[in-house]
Amino acid sequence: MKINEATFITSVASADKFLKTDKPIIAVAGKSNVGKSSLINMLANRKKLAKTSVTPGRTRLINYFDFGEFILADLPGYGFAKVSKEEKKKWGILLEEFLSTQKINLLLSLVDIRHEPTSDDKMMLNYLYHYAVPFALVATKADKLPKTKVKPRVKELAASLRVGFADITATSAETGYGKEELLSIIENAIKEQE
Ligand SMILES: Nc1nc2c(ncn2[C@@H]2O[C@H](COP(=O)(O)OP(=O)(O)OP(=O)(O)O)[C@@H](O)[C@H]2O)c(=O)[nH]1
Ligand SMILES: [Mg+2]
């Protein structure tokens, strides 16, 4: 699949504003700073479609993008230490509303390839199983590891998250590594609904 022109649609902060669309929805989730916005820019071939942040936890809204054949939804990052309990609670409610009311064709659940998955990452997977949301795992920032360490590390992550090795795609927004593989996963998820 080729992405021709991706454009920003809107940002929303509450369930009553969730996008109504006939297009398939691909969602992107993961903790703050994991590289969600960077991955979206990689898929879109655009440097600044989604704002990347040096300060983690900036994206507090669900950002929708039109990718032509599908809609991409960038979910707010979780697990940001400096966020108040109140905000964490709000985020949890918004996420559950999103997972339960927005028809999601595929959710890309991102983890940093270098780090052990957190309890939040595992909770995210539990939500996905609970709401029966189809998902694929993405191990980001693969360029931070020597090439020979990528596959063994993906195996470790798969064991830790209790998923199959083939369920995790390693990517790098810096080098474009894994981009084609991810696009074909998205393409298959879109076809399944038709
Ligand atoms: N080396 C490397 N750095 C990356 C990669 N992806 C993201 N980064 C860096 O990681 C930082 C966070 O990236 P973002 O894409 O803003 O992360 P995010 O998940 O959107 O963060 P929030 O929106 O705050 O939740 C930025 O400094 C990026 O440049 C990657 O594949 N390789
Ligand atoms: Mg972001």
CATH number at residue 183: 3.40.50.300
The answer to whether residue 1 sits within a structural domain is no
Question: Which of 37, 138, 172 has most ligand 1 atoms within 8 Å of its beta carbon, as the pocket-test mutant?
Answer: 37
Is 5 in contact with 68 (CB distance < 8 Å)? Answer: yes
The answer to whether residue 2 sits within a structural domain is no
The answer to whether residue 158 sits within a structural domain is yes
The answer to whether residue 133 sits within a structural domain is yes
- Nearest bound ligand to CA 39? 1
Q: Residue 33: CB within 6 Å of ligand 1? A: yes
**Per-residue model confidence (pLDDT) at position 55:** 56
Number of domains in the chain: 1
The answer to whether residue 131 sits within a structural domain is yes
The answer to whether residue 103 sits within a structural domain is yes
Q: Which residues contact 187 (CB under 8 A, 6 or more apart)?
A: 1
**Per-residue model confidence (pLDDT) at position 53:** 61
117 Cα: distance to centroid of ligand 2 (angstroms) = 18
User: What is the chain's pLDDT, residue by residue, as a tens digit (194 residues)?
Assistant: 888 889 999 999 899 999 999 999 999 999 989 999 999 999 999 888 887 665 555 557 899 999 999 999 999 888 776 777 887 888 888 999 999 999 999 999 999 999 999 999 999 999 999 999 999 999 999 999 999 999 999 999 999 999 999 999 999 999 999 999 999 999 999 997 65
- Domain containing residue 183: 7-193
The answer to whether residue 110 sits within a structural domain is yes
